[in-house]
Structure 1
Amino acid sequence: MRVLPIFLSLLWAAPAFAQDVELELVLLADASGSISEAEIAFQRQGYAEALTDPAVLSAIANTAYGSIAVTYVEWASNTAVVVDWSVIDDADSARTFADALVAPPRQAYGRNAIGGALLDGMRLIETNDFDGWRKVIDFSGDSPNSYSGPSIEIARDTVVAAGITINGLPILCRSCASPARYPDLGTIYEERIIGGRGAFVVTAYSEEDLASAIRRKLILEISGLTPPREVANR
């Protein structure tokens, strides 16, 4: 008569099954000291608009399961989850994610810690409740400098060894009232930050270009495509 209690105890102890999706995507956005409150809001709005764009929703619908798992995280000296892992599989779920993204206050502060941000992105992928065929960190920023924490090289190699791809969205110019601080930032990202299967860089040349660059990059990531270098940076 003890069979049932034993069976129930094993059932309660069994781990929950991970949900299958084609893509687990960490949107890792710059919130360091060089980014003003207005620019934080502008950046979030760019991602919100991109995620609800019909072309992005079409790319999601054409994945193996018709869905992706996404989280939005801001990084500086610390990292902060702005929107936790969510499944996007239609216009309504995309709008729910977008609405949740634009509302919260800033939670990441300080100077760049790129290596730590990449490792936190990996941790978020490895501890979530999803099982994706592809795992991607979408890393954006306006500087190649890292002032604390693990080195970029060590962090990148650790993330790539875990089977995770790092793609880059370098932002060359915020206000564009003066020349870009790092006009070769796209090349630096290619050499120092991105890595893994099919890794690529899409450059945003200004804030006006940011929303379209985000949309272009999301479509490529969701579709599992690697663009030619000259296309990605156009």
Structure 2
Amino acid sequence: MVRSGFIRLATGLACLLGLFAAPAQAQPDTEVDLALVIAVDISFSMDTDEQALQREGFAQAFRSKPVHDAIRGGMLGRIAVTYVEWAGSPDQKVIIPWTVLDNSESLMAFADRISSTPLRRAQRTSISSAIDFSVKLFDENGLNAARRVIDISGDGPNNQGRLVIEARDAAVAKGIIINGLPIMLRQPGYLDIPDLDIYYRDCVIGGQGAFTVPARERDQFIEAIKTKILLEVANLMPEQSLINRIQSPPRTNCMAGEMQWRDRWSN
């Protein structure tokens, strides 16, 4: 009897510890304040230092007290998040599946999973395919979310797959919001475009309250990511536009990346 009691106690402790080992994966019909796809660019244009900073920024965001407080302040006090890496049109990969975050332990565990995933890189840049892939993740997750948001970050324009505006408009038609984090840490080079923030504003983001938070300085990159996640979780808009221009430039050519790629191979 004593031995069986110890076995039951040990089993119970193991189950209890298991609850804190990793955040719970989302179950069908779970109600959440927000379902968020974090879609991060891993194309070869992103150097390994940029990738490491990007990953650390998202990890720090989910460790931060303001984000924890914002989640608790929601109507239900929980969100669901999935972390996706993308590059060209055939290359999208779920790194962390849909996970419910509703307490500090689940948030810290989610951040640790982001930090511990090995870096990888792949060819081309297909923002449109990343959006389409993210939309399918919403369709398949079975969650009941008050808001559905795609958080897409990248350092270049779409140059593969269907037109980015077609993917954006299809997502927005389903009530999905797309926010952007254009990465502008270096001078535009080969196959880059100037004013990537304007390209993201005109061609990538969409939906009610959509916004961008550009990352222009390496030492501000992590803070830009943390700010963006906090705004999305808290359902807030930046106090003022984070795209600062003396005059409004003409609208961007949303086929700029495709044209660059075509010109590369036609010369």
Q: What TM-score, normalized by structure 1, do the two folds share?
A: 0.85
Quick one: which amino acid aligns to residue 101 of structure 1? Answer: I
In the alignment, the residues of structure 2 paired with residue 233 and residue 66 of structure 1 have an alpha-carbon distance, to the nearest angstrom, of: 31
- 1:118 equivalent in structure 2: 131
Cα deviation digits, residues 45-69 of structure 1 (max 9, x gap): 1100011101111111111111110
Any conservation in 2 of the 1:172–1:182 contact (CA below 8 Å)? Answer: no
Q: What is the rounded CA distance, in whole Å, between the counterparts of 2:221 and 2:118 in structure 1?
A: 21
Structure whose CA Rg is larger: 2
State the distance in 2 between where 1:29 and 1:179 align: 19
Change (3 A) 1:127 1:108: farther
Name the SS of the counterpart of 1:127 in structure 2: helix
Alignment of 1:82-93 (within 5 A): 82-93=95-106
Q: CA deviation at 1:126?
A: 1.3
Distance 1:233 1:60 in 2: 27
Does 2:94 align with 1:75? no
Are 2:39 and 2:86, in contact at CA under 8 Å, matched by a contact in 1? yes
**Does the alignment pair 1:131 with 2:144?**
yes
Aligned to 2:12: none
Aligned-residue CA RMSD in angstroms? Answer: 1.8
Aligned-partner Cα distance in 1 for 2:114–2:215: 20
Higher deviation after alignment, 194-203 or 36-45: 36-45
Aligned to 2:225: 214
Query: Counterpart of 2:172?
Result: 160
Aligned structure 1 segments of 4 or more residues deviating by more than 6 angstroms: none
Does residue 66 (structure 1) correspond to residue 77 (structure 2)? The answer is yes
Asked whether the 8 Å contact 1:76–1:113 carries over to 2, the reply is yes
Q: Identify which of 29, 33, 41 aligns with 1:30.
A: 41
Q: Which runs of 5+ in 2 are unaligned?
A: 1-26, 245-267
Q: What code does the residue aligned with 1:85 have?
A: W
What percentage of aligned pairs have identical amino acids? 39
Corresponding position: 1:100 with 2:118: no
Give the structure-2-normalised TM-score. Answer: 0.75
Unaligned ranges ≥5, structure 1: 1-15
Of 179-188 and 34-43, more deviation after overlay is shown by: 179-188
Counting matched residue pairs gives 214
Q: 1:219 Cα deviation (Å)?
A: 1.3
Question: Take 1:202 and 1:38, find their aligned partners in 2: how far apart are those partners?
Answer: 20
- Tell me which residue corresponds to 1:171: 183
1:4 alignment partner in structure 2: none
